[in-house]
Structure 1
Amino acid sequence: MPFSPNLRGSLLMALAMASFSVTDALTKFLTLQMNFGEVMLLRGLFAGVLIGLLVLHRRALRPLRVVVVAPVLMRIGGEIGGTILFLAAITNLPLANVTAIIQAQPLAVTLAAVLILGERVGWRRWLAIAAGFAGVLIIVRPGVDGFNQYAVLALISVAFYALRDLATKQIPAEIPALLVTLLTTVAIAMVGAVVMVPLGGWVTPSGSALGLLAVAAVLMLVGYQCIILALRAGDISAVAPFRYTQLLWAMLFGYLVFGDSPDGAMVLGSSVIVLSGIYAFHRERVRNRPLASTASAQDAL
C-alpha cells in the first residue's frame, strides 16, 4: 500500500531529525577528545568534499561574482554564528536541553519576519511566540541556582539561525542551493580552524574519531536531503511539526550515551515550546488557506 504524500513527507522529516540528532550526539562525544573548533574544521572538510562532488556532478558551479551577494553572505554569517554557539552549548550542557531551546527557531523566524520584513502576524500567533519563549525561559531558568550561562549561548544561537533562514529566503533563484551549502560548509571549516587556536589548538585525532567525523558529515547531508524531499512530498503544515521529533531523539541519545536524565522543568519547557510551535504551524495554515483559494480561483479564470 503506497504512502500518501503527507505521510511520506512526515516520515522523511522524522528521518532527517534522527540524522541530525545522531550528528549532534557524535559531535558532543567528540568534544571529549578535541575542542569544538577542531570538530568544526574536520567535519566541515569531510562534508565539503562530499558536497563539492555533488556540486560538480550537478554542474552547479557559478562564478563568485554571481554567488557572493548580500543574502548569501548573511546566510553564511548566521550559520557560522549559530554553529559556534550551538557547539559551545552542547559541549557544556545536556544534549536534550540545548535541542529543546533550538526548537524555538521557527517561532524566532516568525518574530524576525515581523520585526525585519514587516510581515503581519495575528494575535494568536503572537501568543504562540510568547508561549514558546516562555518555554525557553523555563528551561534556561534565569536567576535560579545552577543557571548555566551556556544556555544563553544556545538561545543566542537561535537568533543566528533565524537570521540564516530569513537570508535564505532572499537568495536569488538562479544561485543553486547546493552551491550555497558548499560555500557555507567551507566557511565553517575555515572559522573552525581559527576558533580552534584559543580553545586549545590542534589535537591529533584517533582513527576512530576520524571515522565518527566522517559519519557525522554523511548524516548531515542525509538530513538536509531528507528535509528537501519531505517539503517537496507533503504540505508544510503537515510535515513541519515532525521536526520536533528531534527532541525525542536528543533525550534518548542524551540518556543512552551521556547518562543525562531530563528534569521536570526541562520536560515542561519542552512541551510548551513544541505545543506553541505546532499551534503556530496550524495558524499559518489557516492564514494561507484563503490565499490559496484566491490563487486557485484566479488560475481558473
Structure 2
Amino acid sequence: MRALSDNMRGALLMMGSMAAFVFNDACMKVVLKDLPLFQAILLRGLATVFFMVLVSHWLGGLDFRLPRRDWFLVTLRTLADVGATYFFITALREMPIANITAILQVLPLTVTLTGAMLFGEPLGWRRLVAIMIGFAGVMIIVRPGVDGFNSYAYYALIAVAFVTVRDLCARRLSAGVSSVTIALIGATGVVIFAAIGAVGGEWEPVSGKSAALLAGATFFIIGGYLFSVMTMRLGEIGFIAPFRYTSLLWALLLGFVVFGDWPDGVTMLGIAIVVAMGAFTFYRERQIARR
C-alpha cells in the first residue's frame, strides 16, 4: 500500500481538527442548558490546561523564554482569545450550531483583508472581490432586520473579529516560538477570565451528565488543538486549508441530529457563498505562492 503524501496527511489532520472543534461546541451547547456560562468555561478550561501541561511535557517544546516583541504579541493574542471565547460561547448557547459555524467560515477572508490593511500583505483585485462577496454571504446568513433574526449573531461577528486579531498575532510571531507554549498561555488566559467572571456568580451542581459533557468537550478541544498544530507542519497550506470547511458538514449533521436544527434555504445560500469565496481565496493564494 502506498504511503500517504504529506498533503493528504495534512488534509486528514485538518478534517480531524475541524471535527474535534465542532464536537466540542456541541458538548458545550448541551452543557450550557444546565450550567452558567462562566462556570462551564472555567471547568472546561481548568481541565484543558491540566491536560495540555501533560501533553506538552510529553511532546516537549514548552518554552517561555520569548523575546519582548513576541511576549507583546502573545499577550495580545491571549486577550483576543479570551474575547473570542466569551462571545463565541455566548452566541453558541443561543444560536443553531450550523449558523454560528457558518459565520466563522468567513475567517480566512477577514484575516486576508486585515493582513493587507495593517501589514501591507499583497491583495489583488480578485481576492478583494471574493472577500466582498463573502461578506455579503455572511449578511445573508445573519439577515438583520428579518423576522426570526437572532441578535446573538452579532456576538458571533464580534467573535470573528477577535479570532482575526488572534490569528494575525500568531502569524507575526517569530518562527521559533513554540506552538504548544502559545496554546497553553491562551488557555490559561481563558481560565483566569472565567474565574473572574465566576466570582460572585451563580453556581449549579454538576450532574453526571454535565461532567461527562465537560470531559468530552475537554477531550475534543485538546484534540482540535493538537491536530491543528500538527496540520501546520505537514504539506502545503494552500492544499490543506480548504479542508477546514468540513467543519460545516459536522455542524449541519450535529445540528440536525442533536438539536433538531436545519438552516433554511436562504441561510444555505449564504453558507455556499462564504465557502466558495473562502475556497477561491485559498486557491489564489496558492497560485501566487507558486509564482
Q: TM-score, normalised by structure 1?
A: 0.91
Work out whether residues 71 and 171 of structure 1, in 8 Å CA contact, stay in contact via their aligned partners in 2: yes
Shift in CA distance, 111/123, structure 1 to aligned 2, threshold 3 Å: same
Does the 8 A contact of 1:67 with 1:175 survive in 2? no
Question: What amino acid maps onto 1:165 in structure 2?
Answer: D
Q: Deviation string for 1:206-257 (max 9, x for gaps)? A: 1331222122112112112222223322211111101001011001101111
Per-residue deviation at 1:283?
0.4
How far apart, CA to CA, are the structure 2 residues paired with 1:134 and 1:196? 37
Matched, 1:205 2:219: no
Moved more, 232-241 or 49-58: 49-58
Shift of 1:196: 3.4
Gaps of 5+ in 2: none
Match of 1:148 in 2: 150
Query: What's 1:127 paired with?
Result: 129
Q: Percent identity?
A: 41
CA distance in 1, matches of 2:6, 2:176: 28
1:281 equivalent in structure 2: 282
Return the alpha-carbon distance in structure 2 between the equivalents of residues 102 and 7 of structure 1: 24
Structure 1: segments with no counterpart, 5+ residues:
291-301
Q: Which residue of 1 aligns with 2:45?
A: 44
Matched ranges for 1:48-67 at <5 A? 48-57=49-58, 58=60, 60-62=62-64
User: Residue 136 of structure 1: which of 135, 138, 161 is its match?
Assistant: 138
How far is the alpha carbon of 1:69 from its aligned partner? Answer: 1.6
| 1:11 CA displacement | 1.6
Q: How does 1:1-301 map to 2 (within 5 A)?
A: 1=1, 2-57=3-58, 58=60, 60-62=62-64, 69-196=71-198, 200-290=201-291
Question: Aligned-pair distance for 1:195?
Answer: 2.6
Asked if 1 retains the 8 angstrom alpha-carbon contact of 2:130 and 2:280, the reply is yes
Shift of residue 39, structure 1, vs aligned partner: 1.6
Answer whether contact 1:66 1:175 (CA < 8 A) is retained. no
* Conservation of the 8 A alpha-carbon contact between 1:105 and 1:158: yes
Question: Would the alpha carbon gap of residues 100 and 59 (structure 1) be closer, same or farther in structure 2, given more than 3 Å must change?
Answer: closer
Q: CA-to-partner distance for each residue in 1:60-119, whole Å, 9 max, x for gaps? A: 243588697210011101111111110111100100000000010111101110121122
SS of match in other structure, 1:69: helix
**Aligned pair count?**
289
Q: Equivalent residue for 1:298?
A: none
Letter in 2 for 1:182: L
The answer to which of 150-159 and 173-182 deviates more is 173-182
Letter in 2 for 1:272: I
For the 8 Å contact 2:100–2:153, the answer to whether it is kept is yes
